[in-house]
Amino acid sequence: MAIAKVMGIETEYGISGPGMGDFNPVLSSSLLINSYAGTLRRIRWDYEQESPLRDARGFEPVQERQPVEEDLGLANVILPNGARYYVDHAHPEYSTPECASPRGLVIHDKAGERILERSLEAVRGLLPPGQRLAIYKNNTDGKGNSYGCHENYLVDRRTPFSRIVHDLTPFLVTRQIFTGAGKVGSESPRDEGRHVHYQLSQRTDFFEAEVGLETTLKRPIINTRDEPHADPEKYRRLHVIVGDANMCEVATFLKVGTTALILKLVEDEFLPELSLEAPVPALHEVSWDVSCRRTVRLRDGRRIRALELQWEYLDLAKKFVKEVEPSAENGEVLQWWEMILSGIEDFDLWQRIAPFARPYFIREPLGYYFDRAGNLSFGGHWNKWKDGIRLAFRYGNRVTPLGMAYHISKITAFHTLHGLRHRFLSK
Protein backbone atom coordinates (compact mmCIF):
# COMPACT_ATOMS: atom_id res chain seq x y z
CA MET A 1 0.00 0.00 0.00
CA ALA A 2 1.27 3.47 -0.90
CA ILE A 3 2.78 5.51 1.90
CA ALA A 4 1.75 9.03 2.89
CA LYS A 5 3.51 11.68 0.84
CA VAL A 6 5.65 14.10 2.81
CA MET A 7 6.81 16.84 0.41
CA GLY A 8 8.73 20.08 0.13
CA ILE A 9 9.95 22.70 -2.36
CA GLU A 10 13.39 24.31 -2.73
CA THR A 11 13.37 27.57 -4.71
CA GLU A 12 16.50 29.29 -6.01
CA TYR A 13 15.65 32.95 -6.52
CA GLY A 14 17.30 35.04 -9.20
CA ILE A 15 19.15 38.08 -7.89
CA SER A 16 20.53 41.21 -9.54
CA GLY A 17 21.97 44.54 -8.39
CA PRO A 18 20.67 47.42 -10.50
CA GLY A 19 23.04 50.35 -10.03
CA MET A 20 25.85 48.17 -8.67
CA GLY A 21 28.87 48.32 -10.92
CA ASP A 22 30.70 45.60 -8.99
CA PHE A 23 27.70 43.38 -8.24
CA ASN A 24 28.63 40.05 -6.61
CA PRO A 25 25.64 37.67 -6.52
CA VAL A 26 27.16 35.39 -3.88
CA LEU A 27 27.96 38.12 -1.38
CA SER A 28 24.72 39.95 -2.18
CA SER A 29 22.71 36.80 -1.52
CA SER A 30 24.46 36.37 1.81
CA LEU A 31 23.83 40.01 2.73
CA LEU A 32 20.15 39.64 1.84
CA ILE A 33 19.68 36.58 4.03
CA ASN A 34 21.67 37.91 6.98
CA SER A 35 19.74 41.17 6.91
CA TYR A 36 16.52 39.21 7.41
CA ALA A 37 17.91 36.73 9.93
CA GLY A 38 19.21 39.53 12.15
CA THR A 39 19.52 38.28 15.69
CA LEU A 40 17.87 34.91 15.10
CA ARG A 41 19.65 32.12 16.88
CA ARG A 42 22.04 30.51 14.39
CA ILE A 43 21.79 26.73 14.19
CA ARG A 44 24.46 25.03 12.10
CA TRP A 45 23.17 22.66 9.43
CA ASP A 46 24.28 19.06 9.96
CA TYR A 47 25.87 17.83 6.73
CA GLU A 48 27.04 14.52 8.21
CA GLN A 49 24.30 12.42 6.60
CA GLU A 50 24.26 14.29 3.28
CA SER A 51 25.53 12.53 0.19
CA PRO A 52 24.31 14.38 -2.91
CA LEU A 53 26.31 12.13 -5.25
CA ARG A 54 24.70 8.88 -4.06
CA ASP A 55 22.80 7.55 -7.06
CA ALA A 56 19.51 5.62 -6.90
CA ARG A 57 20.84 3.33 -9.64
CA GLY A 58 23.38 1.95 -7.19
CA PHE A 59 26.39 4.20 -7.73
CA GLU A 60 28.13 5.87 -4.82
CA PRO A 61 31.44 7.51 -5.73
CA VAL A 62 34.05 8.14 -3.08
CA GLN A 63 33.47 11.69 -1.88
CA GLU A 64 35.73 14.12 -0.16
CA ARG A 65 33.97 16.60 2.05
CA GLN A 66 33.50 19.81 0.13
CA PRO A 67 33.40 23.24 1.81
CA VAL A 68 29.88 24.09 2.88
CA GLU A 69 28.15 27.44 3.28
CA GLU A 70 29.32 28.06 6.85
CA ASP A 71 32.91 27.17 5.91
CA LEU A 72 32.83 29.84 3.23
CA GLY A 73 31.22 32.41 5.51
CA LEU A 74 27.95 32.37 3.56
CA ALA A 75 24.51 32.72 5.11
CA ASN A 76 22.76 29.52 6.12
CA VAL A 77 19.82 30.00 8.46
CA ILE A 78 17.23 27.63 9.88
CA LEU A 79 14.13 29.76 10.37
CA PRO A 80 11.68 29.37 13.26
CA ASN A 81 8.97 28.23 10.82
CA GLY A 82 11.08 25.16 10.03
CA ALA A 83 12.38 26.40 6.67
CA ARG A 84 15.99 26.73 5.59
CA TYR A 85 17.15 30.02 4.03
CA TYR A 86 20.66 29.99 2.60
CA VAL A 87 23.04 30.77 -0.25
CA ASP A 88 23.17 28.08 -2.91
CA HIS A 89 25.84 28.73 -5.53
CA ALA A 90 25.04 32.33 -6.53
CA HIS A 91 21.42 32.50 -5.39
CA PRO A 92 19.37 32.97 -2.24
CA GLU A 93 17.45 29.74 -1.76
CA TYR A 94 14.36 29.11 0.35
CA SER A 95 13.65 25.50 1.26
CA THR A 96 10.26 24.88 2.82
CA PRO A 97 9.87 22.60 5.81
CA GLU A 98 8.43 19.16 5.20
CA CYS A 99 4.69 19.33 4.57
CA ALA A 100 2.02 16.65 4.74
CA SER A 101 -0.42 18.15 2.23
CA PRO A 102 -0.35 20.09 -1.04
CA ARG A 103 -2.25 22.99 0.49
CA GLY A 104 0.17 23.18 3.39
CA LEU A 105 3.10 23.21 0.99
CA VAL A 106 1.60 26.06 -1.05
CA ILE A 107 1.23 28.07 2.16
CA HIS A 108 4.89 27.54 3.03
CA ASP A 109 6.02 28.31 -0.51
CA LYS A 110 4.09 31.59 -0.46
CA ALA A 111 5.50 32.32 3.01
CA GLY A 112 8.93 32.05 1.39
CA GLU A 113 7.96 34.84 -1.00
CA ARG A 114 6.99 37.03 1.95
CA ILE A 115 10.31 36.29 3.64
CA LEU A 116 12.20 37.34 0.49
CA GLU A 117 10.07 40.48 0.37
CA ARG A 118 10.91 41.32 3.97
CA SER A 119 14.56 40.57 3.27
CA LEU A 120 14.55 43.20 0.53
CA GLU A 121 13.03 45.70 2.92
CA ALA A 122 15.66 44.90 5.57
CA VAL A 123 18.63 45.09 3.20
CA ARG A 124 17.58 48.41 1.70
CA GLY A 125 18.95 50.37 4.64
CA LEU A 126 22.33 48.65 4.42
CA LEU A 127 23.08 49.60 0.81
CA PRO A 128 24.71 52.84 -0.36
CA PRO A 129 22.45 55.46 -1.98
CA GLY A 130 21.55 54.57 -5.56
CA GLN A 131 22.06 50.83 -5.06
CA ARG A 132 19.44 48.16 -4.56
CA LEU A 133 18.88 44.45 -4.91
CA ALA A 134 16.17 42.88 -7.05
CA ILE A 135 14.82 39.36 -6.62
CA TYR A 136 13.14 37.20 -9.26
CA LYS A 137 11.08 34.08 -8.83
CA ASN A 138 11.81 32.72 -12.27
CA ASN A 139 14.08 30.08 -13.78
CA THR A 140 16.39 31.76 -16.28
CA ASP A 141 18.44 34.91 -16.70
CA GLY A 142 18.00 34.94 -20.48
CA LYS A 143 21.73 34.40 -20.98
CA GLY A 144 21.71 30.63 -21.02
CA ASN A 145 21.75 30.16 -17.22
CA SER A 146 18.96 28.41 -15.38
CA TYR A 147 18.27 28.04 -11.67
CA GLY A 148 15.87 25.59 -10.17
CA CYS A 149 12.70 25.04 -8.26
CA HIS A 150 13.04 21.50 -6.97
CA GLU A 151 10.31 19.35 -5.45
CA ASN A 152 10.88 16.52 -2.98
CA TYR A 153 8.59 13.59 -2.24
CA LEU A 154 8.86 10.76 0.27
CA VAL A 155 8.50 7.42 -1.53
CA ASP A 156 8.61 3.82 -0.43
CA ARG A 157 12.07 2.23 -0.72
CA ARG A 158 10.37 -1.05 -1.70
CA THR A 159 9.21 0.52 -4.97
CA PRO A 160 11.88 -0.25 -7.59
CA PHE A 161 13.46 2.93 -8.89
CA SER A 162 13.12 1.59 -12.42
CA ARG A 163 9.34 1.56 -11.97
CA ILE A 164 9.40 5.19 -10.82
CA VAL A 165 11.36 6.13 -13.94
CA HIS A 166 9.06 4.14 -16.21
CA ASP A 167 5.73 5.30 -14.78
CA LEU A 168 6.49 8.87 -13.74
CA THR A 169 8.34 10.15 -16.83
CA PRO A 170 5.28 10.55 -19.11
CA PHE A 171 3.44 12.35 -16.34
CA LEU A 172 6.28 14.83 -15.71
CA VAL A 173 6.67 15.48 -19.45
CA THR A 174 3.00 16.37 -19.87
CA ARG A 175 2.12 18.04 -16.55
CA GLN A 176 3.80 21.26 -17.73
CA ILE A 177 0.59 22.17 -19.55
CA PHE A 178 -0.70 23.33 -16.16
CA THR A 179 2.47 23.68 -14.06
CA GLY A 180 4.62 25.76 -16.43
CA ALA A 181 5.28 29.38 -15.51
CA GLY A 182 5.31 30.58 -19.14
CA LYS A 183 8.25 31.96 -21.06
CA VAL A 184 8.84 34.38 -23.92
CA GLY A 185 11.22 32.91 -26.51
CA SER A 186 13.55 29.92 -26.36
CA GLU A 187 17.08 29.24 -25.15
CA SER A 188 17.24 25.69 -26.46
CA PRO A 189 19.42 24.51 -29.34
CA ARG A 190 16.57 22.12 -30.12
CA ASP A 191 14.60 25.13 -31.37
CA GLU A 192 16.22 24.49 -34.79
CA GLY A 193 15.00 27.69 -36.34
CA ARG A 194 11.38 27.14 -35.33
CA HIS A 195 11.23 30.64 -33.83
CA VAL A 196 9.49 29.78 -30.60
CA HIS A 197 7.95 33.08 -29.53
CA TYR A 198 6.28 31.79 -26.39
CA GLN A 199 6.24 28.48 -24.50
CA LEU A 200 4.62 26.94 -21.46
CA SER A 201 7.68 26.18 -19.31
CA GLN A 202 10.77 28.16 -18.35
CA ARG A 203 12.90 25.15 -17.38
CA THR A 204 12.30 22.80 -20.30
CA ASP A 205 14.91 24.46 -22.56
CA PHE A 206 17.63 23.24 -20.19
CA PHE A 207 16.81 19.50 -20.09
CA GLU A 208 18.85 17.07 -22.15
CA ALA A 209 18.56 13.59 -20.60
CA GLU A 210 15.93 11.12 -19.46
CA VAL A 211 17.64 9.91 -16.27
CA GLY A 212 20.70 11.17 -14.41
CA LEU A 213 22.27 12.64 -11.29
CA GLU A 214 23.08 16.13 -12.54
CA THR A 215 21.11 19.23 -11.56
CA THR A 216 23.17 22.01 -13.16
CA LEU A 217 24.11 20.53 -16.56
CA LYS A 218 22.81 17.72 -18.78
CA ARG A 219 19.72 17.95 -16.62
CA PRO A 220 17.51 14.82 -16.58
CA ILE A 221 13.73 14.46 -16.43
CA ILE A 222 14.18 11.96 -13.58
CA ASN A 223 16.90 12.87 -11.11
CA THR A 224 18.61 9.92 -9.41
CA ARG A 225 19.91 11.60 -6.24
CA ASP A 226 19.38 9.15 -3.40
CA GLU A 227 19.56 11.22 -0.24
CA PRO A 228 16.43 10.41 1.78
CA HIS A 229 16.88 12.55 4.93
CA ALA A 230 14.99 9.67 6.58
CA ASP A 231 15.52 5.98 7.31
CA PRO A 232 17.29 4.84 4.11
CA GLU A 233 16.08 1.27 4.62
CA LYS A 234 12.46 2.36 4.34
CA TYR A 235 12.34 5.53 2.27
CA ARG A 236 13.59 7.46 -0.72
CA ARG A 237 13.40 11.19 -1.28
CA LEU A 238 12.47 11.65 -4.93
CA HIS A 239 14.18 14.86 -6.05
CA VAL A 240 12.16 16.34 -8.93
CA ILE A 241 14.03 19.08 -10.81
CA VAL A 242 11.90 19.32 -13.96
CA GLY A 243 9.53 22.01 -12.76
CA ASP A 244 9.12 25.79 -12.80
CA ALA A 245 9.05 28.29 -9.97
CA ASN A 246 5.41 29.33 -9.74
CA MET A 247 3.82 32.51 -8.43
CA CYS A 248 0.36 31.11 -9.20
CA GLU A 249 -1.07 29.27 -6.20
CA VAL A 250 -3.19 26.94 -8.32
CA ALA A 251 -0.18 25.89 -10.42
CA THR A 252 1.87 25.11 -7.31
CA PHE A 253 -1.02 23.27 -5.69
CA LEU A 254 -1.54 21.10 -8.76
CA LYS A 255 2.17 20.60 -9.35
CA VAL A 256 2.72 18.98 -5.96
CA GLY A 257 -0.79 17.60 -5.44
CA THR A 258 -1.01 15.66 -8.70
CA THR A 259 2.59 14.45 -8.53
CA ALA A 260 2.15 13.15 -4.97
CA LEU A 261 -1.01 11.36 -6.03
CA ILE A 262 0.57 9.79 -9.12
CA LEU A 263 3.47 8.57 -6.99
CA LYS A 264 0.96 6.67 -4.87
CA LEU A 265 -0.37 5.04 -8.03
CA VAL A 266 3.19 4.12 -8.96
CA GLU A 267 3.80 2.52 -5.56
CA ASP A 268 0.57 0.51 -5.80
CA GLU A 269 1.28 -0.56 -9.42
CA PHE A 270 -1.93 1.11 -10.52
CA LEU A 271 -0.71 2.53 -13.85
CA PRO A 272 -0.89 0.94 -17.31
CA GLU A 273 1.77 1.21 -20.03
CA LEU A 274 1.99 4.89 -21.03
CA SER A 275 5.68 5.20 -21.90
CA LEU A 276 6.81 7.83 -24.37
CA GLU A 277 8.94 6.81 -27.34
CA ALA A 278 11.28 9.80 -26.94
CA PRO A 279 10.75 11.61 -23.60
CA VAL A 280 13.26 14.45 -24.03
CA PRO A 281 12.06 15.63 -27.47
CA ALA A 282 8.49 15.22 -26.20
CA LEU A 283 9.28 17.44 -23.21
CA HIS A 284 10.32 20.25 -25.57
CA GLU A 285 7.43 19.72 -27.98
CA VAL A 286 4.89 19.95 -25.17
CA SER A 287 6.40 23.19 -23.85
CA TRP A 288 6.48 24.80 -27.29
CA ASP A 289 2.86 23.89 -28.05
CA VAL A 290 0.82 26.66 -26.44
CA SER A 291 -2.30 25.35 -28.20
CA CYS A 292 -1.90 21.96 -26.45
CA ARG A 293 -2.99 20.35 -29.71
CA ARG A 294 0.18 18.67 -31.01
CA THR A 295 0.76 14.98 -30.36
CA VAL A 296 3.65 12.97 -28.96
CA ARG A 297 4.35 9.32 -29.73
CA LEU A 298 3.96 6.60 -27.13
CA ARG A 299 6.19 3.55 -27.12
CA ASP A 300 3.25 1.41 -28.29
CA GLY A 301 2.99 3.52 -31.46
CA ARG A 302 -0.01 5.63 -30.51
CA ARG A 303 0.14 9.39 -30.99
CA ILE A 304 -1.53 11.38 -28.23
CA ARG A 305 -1.81 14.97 -27.07
CA ALA A 306 -0.26 15.90 -23.72
CA LEU A 307 -3.73 16.96 -22.65
CA GLU A 308 -5.17 13.53 -23.50
CA LEU A 309 -2.42 11.81 -21.53
CA GLN A 310 -3.22 14.00 -18.53
CA TRP A 311 -6.89 13.04 -18.86
CA GLU A 312 -5.81 9.37 -18.68
CA TYR A 313 -3.79 10.05 -15.54
CA LEU A 314 -6.74 11.91 -14.02
CA ASP A 315 -9.15 9.04 -14.75
CA LEU A 316 -6.74 6.56 -13.18
CA ALA A 317 -6.28 8.83 -10.15
CA LYS A 318 -10.05 9.10 -9.72
CA LYS A 319 -10.32 5.31 -9.74
CA PHE A 320 -7.47 5.02 -7.22
CA VAL A 321 -8.98 7.59 -4.87
CA LYS A 322 -12.41 5.97 -5.04
CA GLU A 323 -11.17 2.41 -4.48
CA VAL A 324 -8.09 2.88 -2.29
CA GLU A 325 -7.74 6.30 -0.69
CA PRO A 326 -10.87 8.45 -0.55
CA SER A 327 -10.19 11.73 1.27
CA ALA A 328 -11.15 15.39 1.14
CA GLU A 329 -7.53 16.30 0.31
CA ASN A 330 -7.41 13.97 -2.68
CA GLY A 331 -10.86 15.15 -3.73
CA GLU A 332 -9.66 18.77 -3.83
CA VAL A 333 -6.70 17.83 -6.02
CA LEU A 334 -8.94 15.91 -8.40
CA GLN A 335 -11.45 18.76 -8.57
CA TRP A 336 -8.84 21.36 -9.50
CA TRP A 337 -7.11 18.96 -11.88
CA GLU A 338 -10.31 18.29 -13.81
CA MET A 339 -11.26 21.97 -13.82
CA ILE A 340 -7.91 22.98 -15.30
CA LEU A 341 -7.87 20.23 -17.95
CA SER A 342 -11.40 21.19 -18.98
CA GLY A 343 -10.28 24.81 -19.19
CA ILE A 344 -7.35 23.88 -21.41
CA GLU A 345 -9.73 22.03 -23.73
CA ASP A 346 -11.79 25.20 -24.07
CA PHE A 347 -8.73 27.49 -23.88
CA ASP A 348 -10.49 29.39 -21.12
CA LEU A 349 -7.66 29.64 -18.62
CA TRP A 350 -6.24 33.14 -18.71
CA GLN A 351 -7.61 33.84 -15.24
CA ARG A 352 -6.44 30.63 -13.59
CA ILE A 353 -2.88 29.50 -14.31
CA ALA A 354 0.30 31.29 -15.28
CA PRO A 355 1.29 30.02 -18.74
CA PHE A 356 -2.10 30.97 -20.11
CA ALA A 357 -2.32 34.24 -18.20
CA ARG A 358 1.00 35.57 -19.41
CA PRO A 359 0.09 35.98 -23.11
CA TYR A 360 -2.86 38.08 -21.95
CA PHE A 361 -0.45 40.56 -20.38
CA ILE A 362 1.83 40.49 -23.40
CA ARG A 363 -1.08 41.30 -25.68
CA GLU A 364 -2.43 43.97 -23.34
CA PRO A 365 0.58 45.89 -21.95
CA LEU A 366 0.50 47.45 -18.51
CA GLY A 367 2.19 50.77 -19.17
CA TYR A 368 5.16 51.30 -16.86
CA TYR A 369 5.52 47.64 -16.11
CA PHE A 370 5.96 46.69 -19.75
CA ASP A 371 8.13 49.68 -20.59
CA ARG A 372 10.71 47.35 -19.03
CA ALA A 373 9.76 44.47 -21.33
CA GLY A 374 13.39 43.48 -21.78
CA ASN A 375 13.21 41.89 -18.36
CA LEU A 376 9.96 40.14 -19.21
CA SER A 377 11.24 38.83 -22.51
CA PHE A 378 14.04 36.84 -20.92
CA GLY A 379 12.59 36.23 -17.49
CA GLY A 380 9.03 35.30 -18.23
CA HIS A 381 8.01 34.88 -14.58
CA TRP A 382 9.07 38.32 -13.39
CA ASN A 383 8.82 38.76 -9.65
CA LYS A 384 10.45 41.91 -8.34
CA TRP A 385 8.61 42.91 -5.20
CA LYS A 386 6.76 46.24 -5.10
CA ASP A 387 7.23 46.61 -8.86
CA GLY A 388 5.96 44.95 -11.99
CA ILE A 389 3.95 41.93 -12.87
CA ARG A 390 3.63 40.46 -9.39
CA LEU A 391 1.40 43.33 -8.35
CA ALA A 392 -0.43 43.24 -11.65
CA PHE A 393 -1.12 39.52 -11.23
CA ARG A 394 -1.97 39.49 -7.56
CA TYR A 395 -3.91 42.68 -7.17
CA GLY A 396 -5.29 42.85 -10.70
CA ASN A 397 -7.13 39.59 -9.91
CA ARG A 398 -5.92 38.04 -13.14
CA VAL A 399 -4.94 34.72 -11.59
CA THR A 400 -7.17 32.68 -9.31
CA PRO A 401 -5.76 32.45 -5.74
CA LEU A 402 -6.51 29.69 -3.25
CA GLY A 403 -7.34 32.11 -0.42
CA MET A 404 -4.31 31.47 1.77
CA ALA A 405 -3.28 35.00 2.77
CA TYR A 406 -4.24 34.59 6.45
CA HIS A 407 -2.31 31.33 6.83
CA ILE A 408 0.75 32.76 5.07
CA SER A 409 0.90 35.71 7.47
CA LYS A 410 0.78 33.34 10.42
CA ILE A 411 3.54 31.14 8.98
CA THR A 412 5.93 34.05 8.51
CA ALA A 413 5.08 35.27 12.01
CA PHE A 414 6.82 32.15 13.33
CA HIS A 415 3.74 30.03 13.76
CA THR A 416 4.22 26.63 12.18
CA LEU A 417 2.66 23.22 11.84
CA HIS A 418 6.15 21.82 12.24
CA GLY A 419 6.02 22.34 15.97
CA LEU A 420 8.80 20.00 17.01
CA ARG A 421 11.49 21.78 14.98
CA HIS A 422 10.03 25.13 16.00
CA ARG A 423 10.32 24.23 19.70
CA PHE A 424 13.90 23.02 19.28
CA LEU A 425 14.89 26.22 17.49
CA SER A 426 13.23 28.36 20.15
CA LYS A 427 15.22 26.82 23.02
pLDDT by position in tens, the chain (length 427): 899 999 999 999 999 998 888 899 999 999 999 999 886 666 666 656 666 666 677 666 555 545 544 545 578 888 888 899 999 989 999 999 999 999 999 999 999 999 999 999 999 989 988 899 999 999 988 888 899 999 999 999 999 999 999 999 999 999 999 999 988 888 887 777 677 888 999 999 999 999 998 877 789 999 998 888 889 899 999 999 999 999 888 899 999 999 999 999 999 999 999 999 999 999 999 999 988 999 999 999 999 999 999 999 999 999 999 999 999 999 999 999 999 999 888 866 655 565 655 554 444 333 323 333 333 333 333 344 444 344 334 433 444 556 555 455 556 544 444 555 555 555 5
CB 288 within 8 A of CB 194: yes
Q: How far is CA 423 from the centre of its chain?
A: 28
Q: How far is CA 47 from the centre of its chain?
A: 23
- DSSP-based three-state secondary structure for 103: helix
Q: Which CATH class is domain 7-422?
A: alpha beta
Distance CA 177, CA 100 (A): 25
CB 320 within 8 A of CB 314: no
> Judging by DSSP bridges, how do beta strands 91-95 and 219-223 pair with one another?
unpaired
pTM comes to: 0.85
Residue 280 has a pLDDT of 97
* Paired strand residues for 169: none
Residue 197 has a pLDDT of 85
- Give the residue numbers annotated as catalytic, written as ranges: 88
- DSSP-based three-state secondary structure for 75: coil
Residue 364 has a pLDDT of 39
- DSSP-based three-state secondary structure for 297: strand
Residue 188 has a pLDDT of 83
Distance CA 358, CA 182 (A): 7
